């Protein structure tokens, strides 16, 4: 006998169907080590679920104009906008963790948006890539983003906008590479598409790299603009991939 995943989860956790759907949509539900992607997936009625708890965001910095937080993965950027009652300056994908900046007043937000528009913002990310990347690589491939059902889809296209990513390997374990990615443009899903384009997709990126994992291993590490500079160090999930991040020197990153 089979039943829809969200109904089985609701029964197991004694929660509402709506709550069960939301947990699955946020990528928090696993069965036999595999993430449940669709709430309406038909599953055996005897299926057991593992539910990951979403961590709380941690405030990195706050003044009367700017709020910088360390966003957990599986957390939606817009939810944090509502929680902190401040407007997002930029967004991170649900599965991406790290530095997220919100603005408390419209004047500073307009000023910051202009910095982004003129590409005067420094942004670096840390990612776990599939395969061995032996040396730094610069990817200068235009990206075209299309609206599709359920979100957006980006691809490399001559009809797209300029997109530049610089990828530097930091550590290699087995057939996985911990890498720093500096983006000089901020296109939708830029890092995910560029890394997949060079056949070194991000571990856990099911959309572009087609690689399943407990999370997507992409982390917004540092952002600098105007007189502000923020960093958010990696969490323990990167250590679970085998990387000794505590011993890694991030000073030069």
Task: Please provide the DSSP assignment of 35-48 as one string.
Answer: E---TT-EEETT--
Q: How far apart are CA 163 and CA 194, in angstroms?
A: 9
Q: How far apart are CA 50 and CA 30, in angstroms?
A: 5
User: C-alpha distances in angstroms, 54 versus 58, 97, 224?
Assistant: 12, 12, 27
Q: How far apart are CA 145 and CA 133, in angstroms?
A: 27
**Alpha helix stretches (DSSP H) within 100-225:** 106-117, 190-197
Convert 105-124 to b/e letters by CB count within 10 Å (16 or more is b).
eeebbeebeeeeeeeebebb
SS3 content of the chain, % helix, strand, coil (to 5): 20, 35, 45
Catalytic residue among 25, 79, 93, 105: 93
Catalytic annotation present for 93: yes
> Active-site positions?
93
């Amino acid at each position: 006998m089979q039943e829809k995943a969200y109904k089985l989860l609701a029964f197991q956790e004694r929660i509402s169907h709506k709550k069960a759907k939301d947990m699955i949509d946020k990528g928090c539900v696993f069965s036999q080590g595999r993430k449940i992607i669709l709430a309406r997936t038909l599953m055996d009625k005897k299926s057991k679920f593992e539910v990951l708890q979403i961590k709380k965001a941690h405030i990195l910095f706050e003044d009367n104009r700017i709020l910088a937080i360390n966003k957990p993965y599986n957390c939606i950027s817009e939810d944090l906008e509502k929680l902190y009652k401040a407007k997002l300056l930029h967004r991170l994908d649900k599965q991406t963790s790290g530095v997220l900046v919100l603005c408390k007043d419209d004047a500073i937000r307009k000023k910051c948006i202009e910095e982004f528009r003129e590409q005067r913002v420094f942004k670096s990310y840390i990612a776990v890539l599939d395969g061995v990347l032996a040396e730094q690589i610069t990817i200068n491939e235009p990206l075209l983003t299309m609206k599709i059902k359920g979100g957006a889809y980006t691809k490399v296209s001559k009809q797209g906008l300029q997109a530049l990513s610089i990828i530097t390997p930091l550590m290699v374990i087995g057939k996985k590479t911990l890498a720093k990615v500096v983006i000089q443009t901020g296109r939708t899903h830029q890092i995910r598409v560029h890394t997949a384009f060079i056949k070194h997709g991000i571990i856990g990126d099911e959309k572009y790299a087609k690689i399943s994992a407990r999370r997507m291993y992409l982390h917004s590490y540092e952002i600098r603009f105007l007189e502000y500079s923020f960093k958010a160090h990696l969490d323990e999930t990167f250590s679970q991939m085998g990387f000794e991040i505590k011993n890694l020197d991030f000073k030069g990153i």
